[in-house]
A and B are shown apart, each in its own frame.
Chain A
Amino acid sequence: MKQVDMIIIGGGSAGMSAAIAAKEAGIDNILILERKEELGGILQQCIHNGFGLQTFHEELSGPMYAQRFIDQIHAYRIPYRLCSDVVWIDERLRVQYVNAEEGYVWVQAKTILLACGCYERNRGAISIPGKRLPGVYTAGSAQRFLNLENILVGKNIFILGSGDIGLIMARRMTLEGANVLGVAEIMPYSNGLNRNIVQCLKDFAIPLYLSHTIVDIQGDFHVERVVIAQVDEHRNILPKTQKSFAVDTLLLSIGLLPEMSLADHLDMEMDSKSKGAKVNAHYETSIPHIYACGNALHVHDIVDFVSMEAHEAALCAVQDIKGQYHRQKQFSTQAGSGISYVLPHSVDAQPSQNITLCVRSIRPYKQVMINIRTGDRIIKTITKRYLLPSEMERIILKPSDIGILEESLIVEVKES
């Protein structure tokens, strides 16, 4: 069986960033396994700009952002396989993939990095009522059809969910001549980045219906009409609030979920909120030597954070490969009041490196503080003018901030 120091599953933004970081840290025996025909992952269909502001301090399109990493992979001669789908991983760090040239191949890894991205929540997952008709697409599928295959899937569009892809597609399809009649969001606030609400909806006068959801999909042979209605705070449908839209297409932008099917059969601890694996501050899952990063770990708002996280995760795996990773007693992190989830899920009792905490709030807040404490000891306090569920907070803790932990680390929102 072939031996590899680091197998990276997924050649998108996370996988490529991780590979480059590992290579720069002195690891040569790397293998990236990518199931599509090219590196770059979902970036290849994101032809809008706004990528790379943090990393490169310029605004790039998705493919341009990806290309910078692809060029680096080539310059470093990092091995990768395309059209290669990983079908199995196990606790003994064996990986099986398949492609047309090699057939099924087993590889023995020293570390595995799960960088397989995320997938779109779909109609089935939230049981949208109404007829089963053609003309319902996830926003990402419609984006793929339009940007890579040159096909506009419909002319009159309604969008459910105010996730970023939906907002981007509202603008994109409008620019391509489609008529976007509106966006419905079940929450009383938008789930997308503020800049997208402004640039993709407001600039094109596309109405956003907050606290609304789809109650029916009608038509004979394809979608002809969608009906929305207002909901109360418990998501109960309010009577007499129905509005109907004559459309041929319904796009769904109702959330992204980490792609972790490879771990389905493993005894890996999962976070019911982030829907990804639980990791320690070294990005190691509950299964030793298996690491997770990027959208496979938790869904990020912007790609720059994916690249950064993957970079950090890869460096942790490199320490593991080099035998420099000394596992310490762990203390859990906890999402306190107002916080939906905290990553990582545990930290070393006495950390020697900076820790990046990623947190999301459960609802929007104005003028609040985020406290990070252990017991009664406040480690750090951050003041936020706005705190939104759609915008992940990254909080960097220095080892000196933390000192020595004796109990868990709690992150909570304090309203003044």
Chain B
Amino acid sequence: MKTIAVIGAGIVGSFLAYDLTQYEEVEVILFEKHGDVAQETSKANSAIVHAGYDPVDGTLKAKLNKRGAKMYQNICKQLGCGYQACGGYVLASNEEEVEILQELYARGKKRGITVEIKEREEVVKNEKNLSKHIRKALWVPDTAIITPWEVCEALVEEALWNGLQLHLHEEVLDIKACEKGYVIRSDKGQYSVDMLVNAAGLGAQKIMEMVEAESLFTITPKRGQYYVLAKRSQPYVSHVLYPAPSKAGKGVLAVPTIHGNILLGPTSEVLKKVDNGTTTSGLQEVQEKVEKIIQHVPYQEVIHSYSGCRPTGNNNDFYIEESRRCKGIFHLGCIDSPGLASAPAISEYVIVDLMKLPLTFHKKKHIVHRQKPLIMRNLSETKQQALIQKHPGYGHIVCYCEQISEQEVVDCIHRKCGAHSIAGVKMRVRPGMGKCQGGYCEVEIAKLLARELQIPLHEVQYDEDSYYEVAKEGRR
């Protein structure tokens, strides 16, 4: 039996936990300093599975993005997560950008990714709000969208069914070599492990520095700010729209989401320290830059804005290596874009190519699959009726904007990787994601949490991280 620790329950750590628990001879411990999975970069990004034409040749990004993108559809299907191959257009408005499209086209072709150059007329048929300056586009049908935190939660949950030890709210403070491996000291205890994967995202440099004599990579938090537009029956855009990429990155995009909203963003701001806030100037920049690709943006339909920091490295590529100094420690640093798209392939690469587990270990004969969550709005009317008859709570709507029933909220609280806070419920079943942003439903959700967790209402936590309760104390 080997014990492997994974640090960080973002998308990469979640895939590793999921993949590693499939082995008979492996014990997996997943450490997450936050109170829930997917709390940093994996929670606040563009939610796109890029097809893999963008990274330059010879990089890990190129190799793992292409492979990862291919893996998502099956994984999402198996886990019951949303996946939509809506396709993407890379848009060019001048000669120079058309040349960039040609470059991407050639790169895509060479990698076996379906790509096509389209004239403006063809694109505008599918995207009515295209900027009038756009002349040509690279059509990438395999560009897909997912809900990243949903995938994380599903992966970790399935891993839990297969023996994962999940340590939430537990920060790794120190790692020391011992005779047969490593001792991890956290703020809650000590653990002896044989191997360790540093998948700490924005915190990967800090973890790396705990074990290395010299710095192997540096991580700079790069913030991206986004707008979220309300759902509507005629979506404002229906494909991922990219401007032609530049040295500064992929630029400001317009992205449909699985649930029918539209994201506009991100900015690309180098920060000294991680900050999940938004700024007036940042959102102003999104407005200015997004006009490069689309027009008539319905800003009156903005329901939310957010930001996320990506762990940008110093070498324009992922840093994925076994430590030379400490065998059995694997650093996964600098996982910025296309980290989400590459995540399943990163996990596979670490396990197969670096750890070489399949050579010595066996896959479990019996893998437990989690029960997929019931999502009422996705069911047929007949199924909905039958369900309400059996469990009337599915007929009591508590979130009006997103049409979420009481029972769906209760279900998500009691799942193996369940919600313990208002934000946790929001992430899993969406009350608060609609246009009222929780104005209608927050109290209802708090009351359901209090009832189901058997705690007083004023002790219900707003999010899993802050230890901040709805009220500091009960009145009287």
B215-254: which have CB < 8 Å to A? 227-228, 232-233
Max count, chain B CB within 10 A of own CB: residue among A123, A127, A129: A127
**For A148, what are the chain B residues with a Cβ–Cβ distance below 8 Å?**
443
Name the contact of A134 in the complex, choosing from B227, B388, B436, B463 (C-beta under 8 A).
B463
Please state if A103 and B389 are interface contacts (CB–CB under 8 Å): yes
- A152-B475, A264-B233 are contacts. A132–B276 as well, Cβ < 8 Å? yes
Within 8 Å of chain B (Cβ to Cβ): is A56?
A: no
Distance (Å) between the CB of B347 and the closest chain A CB?
A: 29
Among residues of A, the one whose C-beta sits closest to the C-beta of B228 is: A124
Q: Are A104 and B384 in contact (CB under 8 A)?
A: yes
Kindly identify, within residues 123 to 150 of chain A, every residue whose CB is under 8 Å from any CB belonging to chain B.
123-125, 127, 129-135, 137-138, 140-141, 144-145, 148-150
- Cβ of A296 < 8 Å from any Cβ of B? no
Residues of A within 8 A of B442 (CB): 137, 141
The B-contacting residues of A in range 232-268, CB under 8 angstroms, are 237, 248, 261, 264-265
Q: Does B283 contact A (CB under 8 A)?
A: yes
Q: Are B395 and A151 in contact (CB under 8 A)?
A: no
- Residues from chain B with a CB closer than 8 A to the CB of A151 are 457-458, 470-471, 474-475
Q: Does B438 contact A (CB under 8 A)?
A: yes
Chain B 271-302: CB-based contact to A (< 8 A → 1; otherwise 0): 00001111110010000000000000000101
Q: Pick the contact of B400 from A85, A134, A145 — CB < 8 Å?
A: A85
Cα A215 to Cα B280 with chains together (Å): 8
With contacts A141-B443, A149-B457 taken as known, whether A99 is within 8 angstroms of B466 at the C-beta atoms is no
5 contacts between A and B (CB under 8 A): A85-B400, A122-B436, A151-B457, A151-B474, A154-B472
Provide the residues of chain A in CB contact with B463, threshold 8 Å. Answer: 134
Task: Tell yes or no: A83 within 8 A of B by CB.
Answer: yes
**Which residues of A, 175-221, contact B by the 8 Å Cβ criterion?**
176, 215-217, 221
* A127-B278, A133-B466, A222-B466 known; A104+B233 contact, CB < 8 A: no
Q: Which of B455-476 contact A (CB under 8 A)?
A: 457-458, 462-463, 465-468, 470-472, 474-476
User: CB-CB < 8 A to B306: which residues of A?
Assistant: 132
Cβ-closest chain B residue relative to A176: B475
Is B415 on the interface with A (CB-CB < 8 A)?
no
CB contact list, B187-233 vs A, under 8 A = 227-228, 232-233
Closest to B401 in A: A261
Assembled-state Cα–Cα distance A50/B238 (Å) = 49
**Contact across chains for B440 and A132 when beta carbons are under 8 A apart:** no
Q: Contacts A100-B393, A127-B227 given; indicate if A141 touches B438 (C-beta within 8 A).
A: yes
B384 touches A35 (CB 8 A): no
User: Which residues in B have their C-beta under 8 angstroms from that of A140?
Assistant: 439
Assess whether B414 is interfacial by the CB under 8 Å rule. Answer: no
A122 to chain B, nearest CB (A): 4
For the complex, give the distance between the alpha carbons of A137 and B440 in Å: 11
